Amino acid sequence: MQINSNLKTAFRFNASFSTLCAIWLLSASNWWALQFGLSDGLLIQIGGVGLMVFAGYLVWLSSTKKQPKASINSVIYSDWAYVIAALIAAIVAWGAISDVGASFLITTSIIVAIAAEWQRRAAFNS
């Protein structure tokens, strides 16, 4: 599948946002752990490192000319999986997480949903 300029831009937006979230999480992992009702920042750190790896993958994808359809779909599906998981977590754990934690989950899920739809349209509607 061809990586057109719109898809390249969508991947780079996603990579930038993922990197920003990773920096936020890694720079204050213990504080974020408290916001999410966790006793330790290790899960936050793992998530932050995972976001950095994901961002690197997106940058690499955006620098190629062609990719298998499965590679592009994997990014879109993983973004939608995050959206669903974040919203479920915000609802299920509403009493256990802070307002900041809930706001983070809801806000990031909205931005990731926008990125996922942008990527889908760029890949399959051009």
- The per-residue pLDDT for range 5-48, each reduced to its tens digit, is 999 999 999 999 999 999 999 999 999 999 999 999 999 999 99
Who contacts 27 (Cβ-Cβ below 8 Å, separation ≥6)?
Answer: none
Average confidence (pLDDT) over 91-107: 94
Angle (CA) 9-57-6 rounded to 5° is: 15
Average confidence (pLDDT) over 84-111: 95
- pTM (two decimals): 0.94
Who contacts 58 (Cβ-Cβ below 8 Å, separation ≥6)?
Answer: 11, 12, 14, 15, 18, 75
**Could you tell me the residue ranges of all domains in the chain?**
5-124
Q: Could you tell me which of 20, 100, 84 has the C-alpha nearest to residue 54?
A: 20
